[in-house]
Amino acid sequence: MVRAIAVAFAACSVLIAGCRPAYESARIIATGADIIPRPVRVESSQGTFRLQATTPVIVQAGAEGADSVGRYFIRTLAAAGGMELSLVTRTAVADTDNAVILSLEGSLRTGFGDEGYILSVTPRQAKISAAAPAGLFYGIQTLRQLLPPDAFSSVPLQGVLWSVPCVRIEDVPRFPWRGMHLDVSRHFFGKAFIKEYLDLMAMHKLNVFHWHLTDDNGWRLEIKRYPRLTSIGAWRVDREQDNWQKRQSQQPGEKAAYGGYYTQDDVREILAYAKERYITVVPEIEMPGHSVAALSAYPEYSCTGGPFTVLPGGYWPNVDIYCAGNEGTFTFLEGILTEVTDLFPSPYVHIGGDEADKANWKKCPKCQDRIKGEGLKNEEELQSYFIRRIEIILNARGKRLIGWDEILQGGLPPNATVMSWQGMGGGIAAAKAGHDVVMTPTSTCYFDYYQAKSGEPEAPGGFLPLDSVYRFEPVPDDISPGQRPHILGTQANLWTEYVPTASHAEYMVLPRMCALAEVAWTMPELKDFDDFLSRLEKQYSRFDRMGVNYRGRTVRSTRP
Ligand code: ACM
Ligand code: ZN
């Protein structure tokens, strides 16, 4: 099962890599279209196509997925323009005047993969052709950006001329993994914002939502076997008025009432929303470190036995982690992962693995017995033992393990994928050893970092301006051409210690998400920062219509 998943992802990257030569020599004949991420080839011509209330969206009868893409487009236009186009299914979709046509053509798979598309707009019609519904969906995202920015309005507008310039676009993504992460533990973000985040991702043709659901500061996912994870682990004492690093822990008699969590029904709702947008949701369940929220609810799985309370801020180093010597810890985690894998269709489960301070493992008789019993050299190898056992649980359930680059310590589990965050080195080592990698180094992918040298809302540190994100190259020079397909792609991360509100989160990711989209989707030879900046102006107009906050040209207040 795991092998099948691995092959599917490898095939995907090879397919996409295989598309590249055809386009490496492609010349941009004309842009004339402010599309982000920049497509492979844009050829403009005279004239426009006008969408009217009578314009049908035509899909092939029986073309699975195409109708849902059509309905998605109709809904977005109805929300912005109050104009409800009709979905029409036909056995042959070819040459219909005054129509938006979504055409699935298997022959396009060679060269365009499942996510590429051709969009052809003439005065008579707008036609999107793709090998798979995902490609149609990305064609629709491009069509939306060819419409006036009003197409992104969050309120229905009257009297807009919904015209599209005539153009032919051929497009295909560079990487199969185009991710955005969101930490909902340090601050909890409700369903409405998660959907908005997914909408922003879809607009930028990003396709992996890495949902950081657990950490020291809150457990956010209902687990039916272990109800205390949310009845206790989701709540902390409210210290929001104090600096994150200086927050006093919960005192006797104080009530832990700040937080929240997602029920499994909430998650199913989010998953359906993501699926409609061709986004895979990768859940992250942190272990063995960053686990104080879980241990506050179930202290018996720590080395010391606790007690603990959910941390209201940052405490460093954090020695209270899962006990690797206690068999019960693995039973507990298997119970959690059973529910997680039942709930999430993603082929990957992220198990964290970062920043586990091993001080308690050094002192714990059970952990030391485990080291002796398993013939391990040290606590690093104990961590590797821990992660290998978790990989066996996940693989048995048909899932692949992905973890932060610390999972390299003491030896990588055989099928693991590495998310390289402490620079590119972990990713390079993993790719050289034949493992898949997602590149997300702090220096170019940490969207909690400052966006400018002054005038910004408080952040944990770091400096990541827009152009640094834009210039990121996820494929390092020092891996061989044969190893390059192991670089699945890239992702940016939004840690939320200093991000308490949705509006602040928008501000941190926009417009850096636009630059990330171009790193992840656009062929490197087509990237041009100045050209990107000129296209960004139109993107800002779209954000204005959506009513989202963004850093943009001037610094805005991020507080509600
Ligand atoms: C991380 O930033 N600790 C993955
Ligand atoms: Zn222990």
Q: What is the mean pLDDT of residues 172-196?
A: 98
| pLDDT of 364 strictly over 70 | yes
Would you place residue 459 in the very low, low, confident or very high pLDDT band (cuts 50, 70, 90)? Answer: very high
544 touches ligand 1 (CB under 6 Å) = no
Q: Whose CA is nearest to atom 1 of ligand 1?
A: 354
| pLDDT of 175 strictly over 90 | yes
Q: What is the mean pLDDT of residues 257-262?
A: 98
Nearest atom within ligand 1 for CA of residue 404: 4
Ligand 1 centre from 7 Cα, in Å? 28
Q: Supply the pLDDT for residue 95.
A: 76
Ligand 2 centre from 478 Cα, in Å? 39
Point out the residues that are catalytic: 215, 290, 355
Ligand 2 centre from 349 Cα, in Å? 24
C-alpha–C-alpha distance, residues 7 and 552, integer Å: 41
Beta strands in 114-222 (DSSP E): 117-121, 125-130, 163-171, 177-183, 208-212, 214-215, 218-219
Q: What is the mean pLDDT of residues 159-179?
A: 96
| Mean of the per-residue pLDDT values of the chain | 92
What CATH architecture does domain 177-546 belong to? Alpha-Beta Barrel (3.20)
Would you place residue 30 in the very low, low, confident or very high pLDDT band (cuts 50, 70, 90)? Answer: very low
pLDDT tens for 235-249 read: 999 999 999 999 999
Classify domain 18-171 at the CATH topology level. Answer: Chitobiase; domain 2 (3.30.379)
Half-sphere exposure of 75 (CA within 13 A, CB side): 9
Q: Which amino acid is at 28?
A: I
| pLDDT of 514 strictly over 50 | yes
Q: Supply the pLDDT for residue 24.
A: 34
Instruction: Please determine whether the domains at 18-171 and 177-546 fall in the same fold group of CATH.
Output: no
Question: Percentage of the chain surpassing pLDDT 70?
Answer: 93
Q: Supply the pLDDT for residue 418.
A: 98
Best probe residue, ligand 1, of 214, 350, 404, 448 (max atoms within 8 Å of C-beta)? 404
| pLDDT of 3 strictly over 90 | no
Report in angstroms the alpha-carbon separations of 334 from 49, 256, 337, 351, 393. 55, 28, 5, 12, 7
449 touches ligand 1 (CB under 6 Å) = no
Ligand 2 centre from 325 Cα, in Å? 5
Nearest atom within ligand 1 for CA of residue 493: 2
Ligand 2 centre from 165 Cα, in Å? 64
Q: Whose CA is nearest to atom 2 of ligand 1?
A: 421
Q: Whose CA is nearest to atom 3 of ligand 1?
A: 354
| pLDDT of 183 strictly over 70 | yes
Place of tokens 């040298």: 453
355 touches ligand 1 (CB under 6 Å) = yes
Nearest atom within ligand 1 for CA of residue 421: 4
**Domain coordinates of the chain in residue numbers?**
18-171, 177-546
pTM above 0.85, yes or no: yes
404 touches ligand 1 (CB under 6 Å) = yes
Would you place residue 2 in the very low, low, confident or very high pLDDT band (cuts 50, 70, 90)? Answer: very low
550 touches ligand 1 (CB under 6 Å) = no
Q: Tell me the residues surrounding ligand 2 (ion) with CB < 5 Å.
A: 303, 323, 325, 364, 366-367
Would you place residue 553 in the very low, low, confident or very high pLDDT band (cuts 50, 70, 90)? Answer: low
